[in-house]
Amino acid sequence: MTRPPLEPLQALIAATPGFMPARATSAAAGVDQIFAFIFWVSAFFLALIVAITVLFVVRYRRRPGRMEPEPTADHDTRLELLWTFIPLALVFAMFAMSTRAYFRMTSPEASTASPLKVSVTGKRWSWWFDHPNGKGAPELHLVKDRPTELVLASTDVIHSLYVPEFRLKQDAVPGRFTRMFFTPTLAGTFPVLCAEYCGTDHSRMAAQVVVHADQASFDAWARQGVDAGASLVEVGRRVFTQRGCAACHSLDGTRRVGPSVKGIWGHEVNLVDGSTVKVDEDYVRESILKPGARVVAGFPNVMPPAALEERDLQGIVAYIQSMGETP
């Protein structure tokens, strides 16, 4: 890598507080280097343009004693070719640097370590991460310095997985897979955002990525969380948070995209077709497995069906019941 010549410039940018997020992947350094290069080239040219403008306005303003322009050439091909070819050379440099970095960012690393492969599913408005050992979670867990491959999919509309600290972003497109390749280089917790507009709660479609300091820490996380012995309500609470139900169904009665689950148990609700239904186990199950079957009046029919395990279903039912019945 041609790191040394740009290092001071990059450092200057990085030193500006709050200007750039931390650098947490193998890709980040390369990106920031090119950013620094373009930044300083741009800063130079902007300063040049503004300086020339101000200088000329001050010196050549039409004023008493200077009412007429001084004769100058109306073109100068050599000069014009100069400001054709200097920018050309500069953009060539940008293109060359960036393309090398881009291919590194978008292809698997030629490393001996086996990559950590995680399937990512975006749906309105939550992320779901299936890790290699079969462990699914609403958080992405990775290992520092271990090459990683993310396979992205979407069940409804286009989303985009964006981690500012990783300097990476990739759309998750329904009907196909997309991929990301990188190696985390900094242990810690970073935000996962959605960068492609996807509707009402686009700005709340957030998750976290946890980069473990070593494989052992990751393995320890992967083993835990199988809730043997937990009560159904606890199972329900876990499933409810993990599957991102709360993005649309609030726990405190706030109206979001879907009805809140607070205090609805046993309640008669009006449906879009004009009929009513009592919120009981059957209705809750149906609403999870076939959400479009009976939609509550005043809410859009947008919920994707979720194929939950039987125990998780029971858990949700118990959890909603625990949220209080209508007095």
Partner 1 sequence: MTARESSTSASAPAGHGRVHVVTPAALLGTVAALFALTVVTVVVSRVDLGAMNVVAALGIATVKAIAVAAIFMHLRYEGRFHVVVLVGCAVFAALLVGFVVFDTTRYQPDLRAREAAETRHR
Partner 2 sequence: MTSHAAAVDGPAPSYLRHGRGLRSWLLTFDHKRIAIMYLCAILACVLLGGVFALVLRLNLWNPSGGLVSNDVYNKLFTLHGAVMIFLFVIPGIPAALGNFVVPLQLGARDVAFPRVNLLSFWLFSGGAVFFVATLVAGGIDTGWTLYPPYSLEESRGLGILLALTGVFLLGFSSILTGVNFIATIHRMRAPGMGWFDLPLFLWALYATGIIQIVATPVLGITVGLGFLERVFHLGLFMPEYGGDPVLFQHFFWFYSHPAVYIMILPAMGIVSEVVSVFSRKPIFGYRFIAMSSIAIAVIGFLVWGHHMFVSGQSAWASVIFSFLTLLVAIPSAIKTFNWLATMYKGAIVLATPMIYVLTFFAIFGVGGLTGLFLGTLATDVPLHDTYFVVAHFHFVMVGAVMTAFLAGLHYWWPKMTGRLYDERIGSTSAWVTFVGFCLTFIPQFFAGVAGLPRRYATYASQFTVHNRLSTVGAFILASGLLVALYGLASSLRSGRRAPANPWGAASLEWTAASPPGLHNFDEDPRGVRPYDFTGLRHVSDEAGWVREGAR
User: Is the Cβ of residue 130 or residue 201 nearer to partner 1 in the bound state?
Assistant: 130
Question: How far is Cα 290 from Cα 283, in angstroms, rounded to an integer?
Answer: 10
Residue 49 burial (10 A CB sphere; 0-12, 13-18, 19+)? exposed
**Residues of this chain, 279-308, that bind partner 1 according to CB under 8 A:** none
Asked if 26 contacts 109 with a C-beta cutoff of 8 angstroms, the reply is: yes
Q: How far is the CB of 130 from partner 1 (least distance, A)?
A: 12
DSSP, collapsed to helix, strand or coil, labels residue 219 as: helix
Contact string 6-35 vs partner 2 (x = CB under 8 A): ------------xxxx--------xx--xx
Asked if 163 contacts 192 with a C-beta cutoff of 8 angstroms, the reply is: yes
Q: Is 148 in the site for partner 2 (CB under 8 A)?
A: no
Asked if 284 contacts 314 with a C-beta cutoff of 8 angstroms, the reply is: no
Per CB under 8 A, the segment of 65-73, 115-123, 211-219, 228-236 that binds partner 2 is 65-73
Question: How far is Cα 194 from Cα 244, in angstroms, rounded to an integer?
Answer: 14
Question: How far is Cα 148 from Cα 150, in angstroms, rounded to an integer?
Answer: 7
User: Is the Cβ of residue 209 or residue 239 nearer to partner 2 in the bound state?
Assistant: 209
Indicate which of partner 1, partner 2, none lies near residue 199 (CB less than 5 to 8 Å, by partner kind): partner 2
User: Is the Cβ of residue 183 or residue 321 nearer to partner 2 in the bound state?
Assistant: 183
Number of amino acids touching partner 1 (CB under 8 A): 6
Number of amino acids touching partner 2 (CB under 8 A): 86
Question: How far is Cα 265 from Cα 283, in angstroms, rounded to an integer?
Answer: 10
Asked if 261 contacts 253 with a C-beta cutoff of 8 angstroms, the reply is: no
Q: Is 134 in the site for partner 1 (CB under 8 A)?
A: no
Rg (CA), the chain: 28
Contact string 174-213 vs partner 1 (x = CB under 8 A): -xxxxx----------------------------------
User: Is the Cβ of residue 34 or residue 211 nearer to partner 2 in the bound state?
Assistant: 34
Q: Is 173 in the site for partner 2 (CB under 8 A)?
A: yes
Indicate which of partner 1, partner 2, none lies near residue 204 (CB less than 5 to 8 Å, by partner kind): partner 2
User: Is the Cβ of residue 178 or residue 242 nearer to partner 1 in the bound state?
Assistant: 178
**Residues of this chain, 146-165, that bind partner 1 according to CB under 8 A:** 153
DSSP, collapsed to helix, strand or coil, labels residue 38 as: helix
Q: Can you give the three-state secondary structure of 65-120, one letter per residue?
A: CECCCCCCCCCCHHHHHHHHHHHHHHHHHHHHHHHHHHHHHHCCCCCCCCCEEEEE
Indicate which of partner 1, partner 2, none lies near residue 252 (CB less than 5 to 8 Å, by partner kind): none
Q: How far is the CB of 97 from partner 2 (least distance, A)?
A: 8
User: Is the Cβ of residue 288 or residue 295 nearer to partner 1 in the bound state?
Assistant: 288
Instruction: Point out which residues bind partner 1 (CB under 8 A).
Output: 153, 175-179
